[in-house]
Chains A and B, each alone.
Chain A
Amino acid sequence: MAWFKRERKPITPPDRASRVPEGLWVKCPRCGQALYHKDLAANLHVCPKCSHHFRLGALDRLRALLDDERWVEHDAGLRSTDPLSFIDAKPYTQRLEAAVEATGHNDAVVCVTGRLDGTDVEMAAMEYSFIGGSMGVVVGEKITGAIERALAHRRPLIVVSCSGGARMMEGTLSLMQMAKVSAALARLDRARLPYISVLTDPTTGGVTASFAMLGDLNIAEPKALIGFAGPRVIEQTIRQKLPEGFQTSEFLLDHGFVDMVVDRRELQPTIARALRFMRPPAEPAPSPGEADEAAKPAGSPPENAPAR
């Protein structure tokens, strides 16, 4: 019945192998803009056209927030022993090894002492590419360690979350990390020390239901997925499609669970302003260079001993 019919060759997709060297150009998943990787990095991995926030690795996160891009890392060597001897489709030990290989980290969080706007801070940044940023015993232990260092040195704590939640392969040991970290945060709270929680895409499950929601300030990056139950689990429960924008940063702002939604390029100055507000009045501002642990040479890791 067609009036004009023509043999058409289907449009063939281009070769999977791109001729452009790996990582040189990145396409923005939101607006489709092709972005030169170096430009994107210089813009803190935010699309200059549509402000899409690309996921940031832990080290990029630290560079984006800490003065002079310098810090001292703690507990870098901690690694899970696979306490449950967990095997699913493949052994957990293999997943761990692959994650260590791929990320260069021993687990899904990097904890450091650094300076933010001249203030010594304890900071933890989660690494999503390490088994979905999931929290097992190592993540729980390292963040608890960061909180205890904040208490010992009376420093502010900043935790940047990026996690799918508790790590299944460590079972209830993972679950209990929620209680462990929260108990340490209780002490930090009563000691009147600042805790700023930064929630980035995604922050879900046991991480949201513990330290991510307990900040003196909860700051979310724009359009991040933030929630407790996964969207698919909820859809299965209610047997309906979820409303547009459900479990986004803006949704949480609307419902009163985050203090603000802040563009990544404004994050450092925003935290700096918060820390100025939260600084205990009795304490004199430290003179430059004093107690500057970040400036210590790399060869002497003074605080590399695991926290008790």
Chain B
Amino acid sequence: MVDTLEFEEPVAVLLKEIEALSQRPQTEGRDAEIAGLRRRVTQVRREIFSRLTPWQRVLVARHAARPHMLDYVARLFVDFTEIHGDRRFADDEAIVAGFAQYHSEAVLVVGHQKGRDTQQKIKRNFGYARPEGYRKALRAMRLAEKFHRPIIVFVDTPAAYPGVESEERGIAEAIAYNLREMALLAVPILIIVTGEGGSGGALGIAVGDRILMQEFAVYSVIPPEGCAAILWRDAVKKVEAADALKLTAVDLLKYGIIDAIVPEPDGGAHQDPDAATRAVDAALSDALTRLRAEPAETLVNRRYEKYRRIGRLGAGIVDIPTTGTTKNTTT
């Protein structure tokens, strides 16, 4: 049984009722009652999820049972073969890279991996990648470029790892370098944000030609808690911060940061990972078919234009006539 979130309380009540009933001896009437309750669960859940607040979406995106990169890899790809290490320092298990078959085509898959139980979470550093992770990702992507293979990236990280060794080994440089080099990779790059798009930690592997986002995923410049602590000087204001940051898929589509929203089953991807995977599959294969048709040069030029358009005159920027600011200044 998947844990229900706090705001799913009406669902939790119904589920408890169902469980109590199923403990008792089976009768026809009782079966009918249970079936009725199950229908009610679906209905109530649909209602709740049709009007989630941004903060509630953050909670869904972080849900421990939410399918992670490797859950999708297992369902979507054939012969996934992981490669390790950045050939510089270490292998970072918070980012996974490997090649696989996707609908009979060789592709490179890269993504954050969070880990589900305690042991795995520690192994994956809770999805907080270190510099090695970003460098491994780029090394793998260069391999894809060398052999003309498309790249599929799963994004799901709270942030790049904010630790001493991250800074010592140049986390900022690793991300910056990826941003620059991914802009020029001459193969299709397809991004899907499946959980938390955690700021630079997400973007560091997420420069691409088409950016998809699952319905209840979030993507933000800073976690709502951090934003609240800085701007409100009160971490409790995370709910307000989540509102203000416009981090939902619908917002990001509106601002032209993502290209499409991938629907999720009622109650979120973790309620029905197979159904979630089918939707992801449909969106990925459709996008990939379109990108494959483009010559590499067109891809790279369009990719540049795609980012070039984010924040421009008429969209987030106005030009205020100035007097005397354009000048030869002497004092």
Interface residues of A (CB under 8 A from B): 59, 62-63, 68-81, 83-84, 86-89, 106, 136-138, 140-141, 144, 166-180, 182-187, 189-190, 205-206, 208-214, 227-229, 233-234, 237-238, 242-243, 246-247, 255-257, 294-295, 298, 301, 304, 306
Contacts and interface: CB of A to CB of B under 8 A. Distances in A.
Given A77-B319, A88-B231, A172-B252, A69 B331 contact: yes
B61 interface: no
16 contacts: A71-B329, A77-B320, A78-B318, A138-B311, A166-B221, A175-B203, A183-B307, A183-B308, A214-B177, A228-B166, A229-B160, A229-B166, A229-B167, A243-B164, A256-B170, A295-B328
B138 to A, nearest CB: 13
B173 A186 contact: no
B325 interface: yes
A242 B167 CA distance: 12
Interface in B175-227: 175-177, 179-181, 183-184, 197, 199-200, 203-204, 207, 219-222, 226-227
A229 B162 CA distance: 6
Interface in B71-94: none
A71 B329 CA distance: 7
A272 to B, nearest CB: 20
Contacts of B221: 166-168, 170-172, 174-175, 206
A186 B181 contact: yes
Contacts of B320: 77-79, 106
Interface range on chain B (Cβ under 8 Å from partner):
35 or more
Interface in B301-331: 303-304, 307-308, 310-313, 315-322, 324-331
Contacts of B207: 179, 182-183
B7 interface: no
B172 A173 contact: no
B232 interface: yes
A180 B257 contact: no
A255 B174 CA distance: 13
Contact of B183 (A83, A176, A179): A179
B203 A178 contact: yes
B2 interface: no
A228 B167 contact: yes
Contacts of A59: 329
B168 interface: yes
Given A183-B304, A234-B162, A171 B246 contact: yes
A172 B329 contact: no
Contacts of B204: 209
Interface of B: 160-164, 166-173, 175-177, 179-181, 183-184, 197, 199-200, 203-204, 207, 219-222, 226-227, 230-233, 240-241, 244-247, 251-252, 255, 257, 303-304, 307-308, 310-313, 315-322, 324-331
B172 A209 contact: yes
A224 to B, nearest CB: 14
Contacts of B164: 234, 238, 242-243, 246
B228 to A, nearest CB: 8
Contact of A209 (B171, B247, B252, B327): B171
Contacts of B172: 208-209, 212-213, 227-228, 257
Nearest to B243: A87
A171 B241 CA distance: 11
Contacts of A180: 307-308, 310-311
Contacts of B247: 171-172
Nearest to A296: B328
Nearest to B237: A88
B326 A72 contact: yes
